[in-house]
Structure 1
Amino acid sequence: MTRTYGATETDPGEKFKDSQFLVFMNRILAFTVAGLYCALTKQPRHGAAMYKYSFASLSNILSSWCQYEALKYISFPTQVLAKASKVIPVMMMGKLVSHKSYEYWEYLTAALISVGVSMFLLSSAPNRHVSTVTTFSGVVLLAGYIVFDSFTSNWQDALFTYKMSPVQMMFGVNVFSCLFTVGSLLEQGALLESVHFMARHSEFTAHAVLLSVCSACGQLFIFYTINQFGAAVFTIIMTLRQAFAILLSCLIYGHAVTVVGGLGVAVVFMALFLRVYARSRMKKRSKKLPPGETPVQKV
């Protein structure tokens, strides 16, 4: 959206400004790919009612809107703390949506990961001192983002109890995402204008398709992770991704890591070690149970 298309010596060109159309492109391609895959390959028997996918789709759209709008009204440290602390809200939403139970060490390690990632991101970001003031509106929008985002992954996790495949989940969610976004585009009169822009600039069309392909591939990994490991683990992975991206940048480009940042990395690795250790202890304990006693199922 920052790129100028069609620029010549006499024409300054134009920029594409409708991000909602790009979202629609992402969703329509993901819907098409998932639909073709489901039609051409054998999939598990579908047991979930179609309307249930609309909840995940709508909450995902609302979380994205709240996230982007909140950036206008909150400071950089607030952004970092909110994104790094999503694990606990996701676990709490899991108890509400799916009645999941978590061990005390899972809450402890989630909190440690949030603290460690926050320390590292706040100390390593070059523009951490240049930020807007956090307002009440920004806090409300940020809270909405966390709630809707936590609901989305947990609702998708709950839908997987119907024994569907990640591709079926991708198809169902994107059906409603396409309907919601195209309805909004038609209401605003932006759909035809965006299509005309694509017709005028073939380079933009290629870029939009490439973006949509990458988005569709990303969705497959997201749904597979939620299906195999659950919403909480998926959120931990996404939280750690932010820290590892900056850490990798520091290593590649030689940026210095502060003492606080290094301490934050140490806290994260300690939390991950504790998580692996506690889980292995639980597995060993379940194997030692008497033959007639069944272990409590861990979700």
Structure 2
Amino acid sequence: MKKRSRIQDSLGFQAMGLLCSFTMYGYLQEKIMSGTYGPHKFRSTVILVAFNRLAGILVAIYMQSYHLGNSLRPRHPIWAYASVSLSNFLSTLCQYEALKYVNFTTQTLGKCSKMIPVLLLGVLVYGKKYSWRNYAAVGLVTIGTTVYMVTTNIKSSDNKFSTVRGIGLLVGYLLFDALASTTEARLFQRGNERSRAKDKSSKDTSAGFSKDEMVYDQMLWTNICSLGVSGFVISTDKRRSLSSFLQIAFSPYGPRLLLDIALLSLSASIGLIFLLTVIATFGALTCSTLMTSRQFLSIVLNGVAFRNGRNVGTLGWIGIGYVASGVQLELSNKKKVKQEKEDMPLSPTKHGKGKESNTGTLARYLFLPIVGGILAHITSIILIPSHIAIQSRSAELFPTSPIFTYGNQTYTRSQIQHLSATTNCPEPPKRSFYPFEIPRTALASFPRSGNTFTRELVEHSTGYFTTDVFCNSPHWYKFHQEYFEEACEHPENNLLVKTHAPEFTSYGDDDAEWLPLVEEFERIVQVVRNPLDSLWSFWHFLRNDLNHTSRIAGIDLLGLHHLSELDLMAHAWVQHTEYWMNLDKPRVMVRYEDFRGPDQIQHLSRVLTTLLPDDQLPEMERLICADDDRKIAYQSRKARNFYSWDHYDPELRQLILEAVKGPWCALGYEDLLRKERGIKGVDCD
């Protein structure tokens, strides 16, 4: 057996190894589960768990057999490893699944919040008594988590349903992780007892189990059992377990995914070695302190790496600081209790300095997070320029890629260009009703933002009707009556339902007219358009007998004397955009500008994939032909993006941009304006 050096046994070496390996693990975890590989999202969570376990087995075999020269036979009954592996498998599965619905920071804060239910259950159910430091720690974590959740957009494309689902998975992770940790501790305890018994009964001083031997034994056989569980799950649900993995693995992005999975599995295995070694050598409290430090280090580094740290904001970082402060106070309290049990006086008392006052302790834990949060926000602003943060946010909402998947086939931009040039487009198919009842899907947009254009793209590519939310109601205009009359005969068999609500909250009399209609929707396709073009077009529309194609003659510039009405319209645009973005329903978002750009087909495919099952999607040629000339062609469709820029007095335009700044920046319009026109609109910092 090879002897370990003093450096390997030192806390500094073990701490550095643990921090580096698990920080890399946290980065790769978020990259794989939250990122994209070209047009694909990785969803095969069980496959990821299986690769992790396989890597753990290989590392454990190497360390146990080759490095230490020990036998690979199990030191405990197989059922003991199986009990650990089942909890370990389920905790890892919940951990990865949670990242589909919440980001890494939310996941980390959720892990730290487990002390809250522990204390509440202890007091309310078991009648336990806790010190003021325990209550203070729980209070700090509660405050921090609340501040973060309230002030931070957990994920731009998420809704409350997804958030609740993610938090539920985090609860599952905490439960199964606690079960795994408890069982692991029992295995180590049994190993130590057997080691001491063998030492007493044998003259050979090497007869007992060493710390390393127990670590790699547990790592090997627990991972073998977990791999068996993973294999069973994969074999019973091949479609869900394998489809996403195989789709990416056999695409041009396959090598990148496999490299990320290999590095993730390797970092997890190496991290587990350091973790178990620290527990066996320095105790669970030291390990908890190091893992807590690692978690908050990962929050900062992942925020920089994934360009979302800037979006957390000052209050969000302060909330994170309070959670860290609460966890640190809890660890400090555990250390204090341990020292008191061992009758080890604290060094300040020994030197006559006296114990730290309660006031001083609270002051430190209350005010340091504020300072740290401000510094973290400043650092994120320095490291993540605003235009990069904007690009990152809009890329999540409106994803495009040189390669994308539609149905069961992968397309490149060059293939789409070739098909567009060579496809001979016939007349659009006669519209018909969708043959089955379909979830009621809103096509929501602010007026003059591309609703009709989007509907006709969908109708021309699928051949199915779309309809209007006010079928046969008094709010119908003559144009709507003519266009939607046939579609309204079977409203439950239409792919999309046009709506401009809640623009009536500003231009109508009663919210009750539109709110019940909106609540009936089960899915959302939301179309947005830059507010400058949208408001300019809508202003003319309201003054021209609701004519969709003409403009008011002689009005080429809107000035400050139009401010009152345009300010009302700008706030209505913000209200409408944010209302639909925040609804708790499945959605897909598209920008009107993207529908008119080079990736129109890719964005149309996103909409159709949301509406129809894969086996009912129209052929790609139908999508390419969907944008043929139409009988009704809006004048705005012929204009370039941001064509209305010079139709506003500069001072009026700036006031409008300030009014719409939040969604304008979040939807990437500032970045789009600078790219297409070379003009700066507002500062999105």
Higher relative contact order (CA 8 A, sep 6+): 1
- Once the two structures are TM-superposed, the CA of residue 174 in structure 1 deviates from its matched residue by 0.4
Partner of 1:147: 175
Q: Aligned to 1:22, which of 30, 42, 48?
A: 48
Q: How far is the alpha carbon of 1:287 from its aligned partner? A: 4.4
Q: Please list, as runs of the form range in 1=range in 2, the aligned pairs for 1:1-299 lying within 5 A after superposition.
A: 2-4=36-38, 18-40=44-66, 41-42=68-69, 47-67=75-95, 82-87=110-115, 104=131, 107-108=134-135, 111=138, 114-115=141-142, 117-118=144-145, 121-122=148-149, 125-127=152-154, 131-134=158-161, 138=165, 141-161=169-189, 162-163=191-192, 165-189=214-238, 197=249, 204-227=257-280, 228-230=282-284, 234=287, 237-239=290-292, 241-247=294-300, 255=310, 258=314, 261-262=317-318, 265=321, 268-269=324-325, 272=328, 275-276=331-332, 279=335, 283=339, 286-287=342-343
Contact 2:114 2:174 in 1 (8 A): yes
Cα deviation, residue 276, structure 1: 3.7
* 2:56/2:265 contact within 8 Å kept: yes
Q: What residue number does 1:295 align with?
A: none
Deviates more, 1:220-229 or 1:78-87: 78-87
| Cα pair distance change 1:247/1:21, threshold 3 Å | closer
Cα 1:226/1:153, change in 2 over 3 Å: farther
Q: Which amino acid aligns with 1:24?
A: A
Q: Who is 1:98 aligned against?
A: none
CA shift, 1:239, in A, is 4.8
What are the superposed Cα offsets for residues 20-61 of structure 1, whole Å, 9 maximum, x if unpaired? 223212211210110221112156996432211111211122
Whole-angstrom CA distance in 1 between matches of 2:155 and 2:260: 31
Distance 1:119 1:286, change over 3 A: same
Give the Cα separation in 2 of the matches to 1:261 and 1:152: 31
Residue 48 of structure 1: SS of its match in structure 2?
A: coil
Alignment size in residue pairs: 273
Deviation at 1:249, TM superposition (A): 6.9
* Contact 1:74/1:133 (<8 A) preserved: no
AA of the residue aligned to 1:30: G
Q: Is the 8 A contact 1:120 1:260 kept in 2?
A: yes
Q: Which whole-Å deviations, capped at 9, do the CAs of 1:98-150 have from their partners, x for residues lacking one? A: xxx99857844752563365256447745478742259984765543332122
Deviations 1:175-212 (A, max 9, x none): 11111112222333479986894799555544433332
C-alpha RMSD of the superposition: 5.0
TM-score, structure 1 as length reference: 0.64
CA contact (8 A) 1:64 1:145 kept: yes
Q: Which residue of 1 aligns with 2:683?
A: none
- Please tell me the residue identity of whatever aligns with 2:91: S
Residues 52-61 or 69-78, more deviating: 69-78
The equivalent residue for 2:654 is: none
User: What stretches of structure 2 of length at least 5 have no aligned partner?
Assistant: 1-31, 122-127, 193-210, 346-685
Letter matched to residue 174 of structure 1: N
Indicate how the Cα distance of structure 1 residues 46 and 174 shifts in structure 2: closer, same or farther if over 3 A, else same.
closer
Shift of 1:265: 2.6
The 2-side partners of 1:125 and 1:251 are apart by 16
Task: Specify the code of the residue in structure 1 equivalent to 2:57.
Answer: F
Residue type of the partner of 2:176?
F
Query: Higher mean Cα deviation, 121-130 or 237-246?
Result: 121-130
The verdict on how the C-alpha distance between 1:267 and 1:80 changes in structure 2, with shifts beyond 3 A counting, is closer
Please tell me whether Structure 1 or Structure 2 has the larger radius of gyration of its CA atoms: 2
Q: Amino acid of the residue matched to residue 145 of structure 2? A: S
**Aligned partners of 2:296 and 2:150: how far apart in 1?**
11
SS in structure 2 opposite 1:258?
A: helix
1:120/1:243 contact within 8 Å kept: no
Q: Which amino acid aligns with 2:270?
A: C
With over 3 angstroms needed to count, the CA separation of the structure-2 counterparts of 1:123 and 1:217, relative to structure 1, is: farther
What do the CA deviations read for 1:228-270 (whole angstroms, capped 9, x no partner)? 432x665565455444444567899995863574376367447
AA of the residue aligned to 2:37: R
Mean Cα deviation higher: 166-175 or 131-140: 131-140
Tell me the SS of whatever aligns to 2:160: coil
TM-score by length of 2: 0.32
C-alpha distance in 1, partners of 2:263/2:313? Answer: 34
Q: 2:242, 2:319 → 1: CA distance?
A: 52
Out of 163-172 and 252-261, give the one that drifted further.
252-261
2:65 partner letter: A
What residue is the counterpart of 2:633 in the other structure? none
Change (3 A) 1:215 1:144: closer
Q: How far does residue 157 in structure 1 lie from its aligned partner after superposition?
A: 2.0
Structure 1: segments with no counterpart, 5+ residues: 5-11, 94-100, 290-299
Query: Aligned in 2, Cα 1:275/1:116: closer, same or farther, shift over 3 Å?
Result: farther
Quick one: which amino acid aligns to residue 39 of structure 1? S
* Code of the aligned partner of 1:132: N
